Amino acid sequence: MANFNFPGQTAFYKGKVRDVYTIAGKYLVMLASDRISAFDVILPRPIPFKGQVLTQIAAYMLKATSDICPNWLMDVPAPNVSIGKKCEPFKIEMVVRGHLTGHAWRTYSSGKRELCGAKMPGGMKENDPFPSPIITPSTKASEGHDEDISPAEIIKNGLATEKEWNALSGYALKLFARGNEIAARQGLILVDTKYEFGRIGDEIILMDEIHTPDSSRYFYAGGFEERQQKGERQKQLSKEFVREWLIENNFMGKEGQTVPVMSDEWVDTISKRYIELYEKVIGQKFVPQKLSDEETEKRIIAEIAKLGLT
């Protein structure tokens, strides 16, 4: 993906999977690449259409939740491009969990019954639903691994005031409930997800992507209870299968470990899984679009002019 220079551009940041351009100090042009990361490491091969999948699911979900919380998105001028408002981010990720899965299960199976200040009942099996969703926030690290943190520590460390925490947690639970309503219509369960928020003045704004395979985990609702009763693995749509493949190949992002080789077949499998999630969550056929760098740049410049951002 090319490095661009847009009218009114004041900054550029290359993240693990996104290239972010700041316009006039107040707006962002976010290009979702086909890069894929796991365990805070960028894997060596891009995944075809991943950027388009993430951008279009996020746009759909941000529109579907805009009555709950104001969000940053203004427009999507190209398949993998979002333009929106620049916020001052809270340096925390709001992780909402409806089921005992992933990191929560690994914590639980180690014998602990509390995660980030949230209590987890005894007698639960992997993938069981919690009595009600729990919030297990983490710090948003600019480098390295995100760290678990409790609400009390968030307030104590000045990452949010008590009033802001109450607003953030209220928004997160309402967004999660809406995400599950949308998922249920498609025969899915939204298992867990993360939200990122920022401020513009005194207003709290929902940022980034939501309810995508990079930020969320979904189970198929059909057969869920039967699989739980039999102790079988749940059929899921998420990026967890990439993490599981890495763990099976002795990679968890730790020092001295080497990322395993990604074959053409494996890259194609990952791409198909992302597209499957798009079609399942959105309920629409995925239409692959590949624009040249020149066409992408042309569309972004036209949108910047149309929105009068400079």
Q: Alpha-carbon torsion 132, 175, 57, 187, what sign?
A: positive
Query: Dihedral, CA atoms, 54, 60, 61, 66, nearest 10 degrees?
Result: 140
Tell me the mean pLDDT in the region 203-227: 94
Tell me the mean pLDDT in the region 100-113: 96
Return the minimum-mean-pLDDT range out of 1-5, 110-114, 232-236.
1-5
Whether residue 253 is predicted with pLDDT greater than 80 in this model: the reply is yes
Reported as a pLDDT band with limits 50, 70 and 90, residue 240 is confident
Query: Phi, psi at residue 32, to the nearest 5°?
Result: -85, 110
Whether residue 199 is predicted with pLDDT greater than 60 in this model: the reply is yes
> Ranked by mean pLDDT, which of 140-154, 176-190, 245-259 comes out on top?
176-190
Mean pLDDT of the chain: 94
Question: Structure tokens of 3?
Answer: 């490095």
| Separation of first and last alpha carbons in the chain | 24
What one-character DSSP code corresponds to residue 251?
-
Question: Structure tokens of 272?
Answer: 């198909």
